[in-house]
Amino acid sequence: MDHKRQALVSLIVFATGLGYGALAGASYEALEPAITWTLALLIFLVGVSMGVDYERLRGSLAKIHRPLILVTATIAGALTSGALLAHFLRIPVGISLAIAAGSGWYSFTGPYLAIIDPYYGFVGFTSNLLREIFMLISYPVFSRRIGFEAISIGGATTMDSTLPVVARFGGVDLALAAFIHGLLLTLTVPFLVPLLASLQF
């Protein structure tokens, strides 16, 4: 199956899920166990895929600087877009930067910002949740030309929930870069979001 067809199938599957969720009123809480176990299965398969390709993986480990550049770019993108959106959408700069720096980690960004303001908590949760979905849908399309750079779209989710899509469409080398990128962001976001949200301008 080629990339375009797989992307189309992903889109149809997502739309079907969306329709089911809207009609059945399924909440994230209700589906969380199924998502967690499917995710575990995906990560297990990614692990097997990486393990079988051990020789290639070992070669990739020598190139650790690539995910580091990617993390820098992801954070630079979040800060730049957060500042721009604060100006155009008239949102406090600190809050805007914090939402953008959430990097797809909606279960952290949403609840954290909800303590400050429920409205921004909702925006932080939903936008970061949809960012993960945007990555799942768009990566198959972007992977053909900018497979490495497009990992940024997934943010912190590239170490778990969106890692399989990178592995499937980008290959083992990119999956390793995505995992390290997601891991470093997962370590950074819990410090970055509160710091940015505390900015008083």
Partner 1 sequence: MNIIYAALLLGLALGLTSSRTRVGRQVKRVTDEALMYVVYALVFLVGASSGRTLVDLASKGDPWLAVHVLSYMLLPGLAGAGFAFIFSRVAGQWTIRGKR
Ranges within 40-69 binding partner 1 (CB under 8 A): 40-55, 63, 65-66, 69
Options 141, 153, 180, 184; binder of partner 1; rule CB under 8 A: 153
- In whole angstroms, the minimum distance from the beta carbon of 182 to partner 1 comes to 11
Helix (H, G, I), strand (E, B) or coil at 80: helix
Closest separation in Å from C-beta 184 to partner 1:
13
- In the region spanning residues 168 to 197, those forming contacts with partner 1, defined by CB under 8 A, are 168-171, 173-174, 177
Among 108, 112, 156, 164, binds partner 1 (CB under 8 A): 164
Closest CA to 153 of 101, 85, 104, 86: 104
Tell me whether residue 173 or residue 184 sits nearer to partner 1 (CB atom). 173
Residues 6 or more apart whose Cβ sits within 8 Å of residue 76: none
Cα angle 195, 197, 201; round to 5: 110
- Spell out, one character per residue from 106 to 145, where the chain touches partner 1: x when CB under 8 A holds, - when not: -------------x--xxx-xxxxxxxxxxxx----xxxx
Write the single-letter amino acid at 61: L
Which x/- pattern over 3-42 shows residues binding partner 1 (rule: CB under 8 A)? ---x--xx--xxxxxxxxxxxxxxxx--xx-xxx-xxxxx
Look up tokens 């166990």; give the residue.
33
How far apart CA 125 and CA 114 sit, in angstroms, is 9
Site string for partner 1, 63-102 (x = CB under 8 A): x-xx--xx-xxxxxxx-xxx-xx---x-x-------xxx-
Question: Can you tell me whether residue 105 is helix, strand or coil?
Answer: coil
State which residue, 28 or 191, has the beta carbon closest to partner 1.
28
Dihedral (CA of 122, 123, 128, 134) sign? positive
Count of residues near partner 1 by CB under 8 A? 109
Shortest gap between Cβ of 22 and partner 1 (angstroms)? 4
Alpha carbon of 168 to those of 67, 121, 137, 162: distances in Å?
Answer: 18, 33, 13, 10
- The least distance separating partner 1 from the CB of residue 201, rounded to whole angstroms, comes to 19
Amino acid at 99: I
CA 192 to CA 43: how far, in whole Å? 26
The binder of partner 1 chosen from 105, 112, 141, 155 (CB under 8 A): 155
Among 180, 114, 42, 28, residue whose Cα is nearest residue 102: 114
In whole angstroms, how close is the CB of 111 to partner 1 at the nearest point?
A: 15
